[in-house]
Structure 1
């Protein structure tokens, strides 16, 4: 069996909980969650291929490929079932995992994420992003990409977090960014996964989230048989920072529900 090349942090004992970061992020995104939850859970925070410390070994990439890499890591760690929570891109990966390996899931969380495919307009915006990066490089993209993820009124108080994310994005390879942007653009609709899953589904929703608008969350949150939905006002796309205590509490209660 191939050994996973994913780098990760792992702490604690108990039911396994996997947190998957979003686009141009890395495993330290979840450090507060890992530190808080490790007393009762086996918390695993991987770097997706091409991000953080994990190498990008193949191109093109896809959500299915990312899901397979997470599965390989879990097999290496002898984890047979887990609760999986993904932020943004990480949610797309978690949905692909849920579709391919439903027997391994006890819970599924979409943390500022959605099951819908990109609209034609969004696909065109992805293409424009790729063209911009190919022409100008990663640094100008990083400088324009990160700040709008945060609700405007939160940006001043979260300057340190914003700067850290800008540096993380700047340190991500151009190939990883472009190939993953293509994979997000081309991903399939997975609303059927929400409709058919037998596990409780957590939705963390920022009412002022630009990338995942409130109306899209309202469309998807009723699809599972068992939904747990938290709406946060004055919150954009980065609730783990913008509503640090509130989102941590919401996740903790959800984990208790999943057993």
Structure 2
């Protein structure tokens, strides 16, 4: 089993937070601090990021999903709600496909069930070539700022610092795994529980229109657009995302 470091705060029904590419669970800590009054909040460092070391190089996001499922079993969580940011959303979808019984509901935060386009796959390949030649730091310095609507946002620096802790091996392995992930829009249609689909008005990576399209496939969609933000809603509008998540969590029945 790939090792999984996590924080465990609050009491109640388990809610799991999965971070995005070149992030750690710290990205969720502001949100967690405001929700721990009602739920048990588990914020994970995905294998290879933060305090979760990469003992073996994963070849697919399904392997990461398996690691999260095994971790949940190891801490005796048999049912939960999962929120995934970007990459974390891809892994959330893989978990939902493998073990729908585990999830009472889930949320895709600035994420998508679509596979990469050919253009996006080519871009992933360029990322790998770039970091092999130039290293992690120059990539992170160019990758992070455009994730924010405001390119001078005061929290960009902390995300850049977080990103620079990503090992080269991890960055390459996950870039390949994201490139090769399958389309999971059928899963959206099949999943019987509620699905939160949260878009950023100015997201340069995943458009509002794309997420709205996917919401139409869900049996119980909750589609929300955060105004004035791009791809980092939990930092760009922390109060807004806390409000959205609390309303969603309160609406999930049978937990």
Global fold match (TM > 0.5): yes
1:251 aligns with 2:245: yes
1:181 aligns with 2:150: no
Name 2:212's counterpart in structure 1.
218
**Which secondary structure state, in structure 2, belongs to the residue aligned with residue 208 of structure 1?**
coil
CA offset at residue 103 of structure 1? 0.4
Q: Which runs of 4+ in 1 moved over 3 A?
A: none
Q: Hey, what does 2:228 align to over in structure 1?
A: 234
Measured after TM superposition, the shift of residue 60 of structure 1 is: 3.6
| SS of aligned partner of 1:46 | strand
Please give the alpha-carbon distance, in whole angstroms, between the structure 1 residues aligned to 2:124 and 2:24: 21
Q: What is aligned with 2:193?
A: 199
Gaps of 5+ in 2: none
Distance in 2 (CA, whole Å) between partners of 1:60 and 1:26 is: 17
Distance 1:185 1:210 in 2: 18
Find the aligned partners of 2:191 and 2:184 in 1 and give their Cα distance.
11
Match of residue 22, structure 1, among 11, 20, 23:
20
Corresponding residue for 2:4? 6
- Which residue pairs with 1:115 in the alignment? 113
Following TM superposition, by how much is the alpha carbon of 1:147 offset from its aligned partner in structure 2, in angstroms?
A: 0.1
Which of 238-247 and 182-191 deviates more? 238-247
- Alignment-derived partner of residue 84 in structure 1: 82
Give, in whole Å, the separation in 2 of the partners of 1:49 and 1:131.
22
| Selected match of 2:135 from 137, 142, 146 | 137
Counterpart mapping for 1:49-64 below 5 A:
49-64=47-62
Distance 1:33 1:73 in 2: 22
**TM-score normalised over the length of structure 1:** 0.95
CA displacement, residues 185-204 of structure 1 (integer Å, 9 cap, x when unaligned): 00000001100000100011
In structure 2, distance between residues paired with 1:62 and 1:9: 25
**1:34 & 1:214 partners in 2: Cα distance?**
25
User: 1:37 Cα deviation (Å)?
Assistant: 1.2
Q: Is 1:162 matched up with 2:168?
A: no
What is the CA-CA distance between 1:227 and the residue it aligns to? 0.5
Note the residue ranges of structure 1 that are not aligned, 5 or more in a row.
none
Distance of 2:58 and 2:111 partners within structure 1: 22
CA distance in structure 2 between the partners assigned to 1:52 and 1:171 by the alignment: 7
Cα distance in 2, alignment partners of residues 5 and 127 from structure 1: 27
| TM-score, normalised by the number of residues in structure 2 | 0.96
On the 8 A contact 2:3/2:54 being kept in 1, the answer is no
Q: Give distance in 1, aligned partners of 2:26 and 2:85.
A: 13
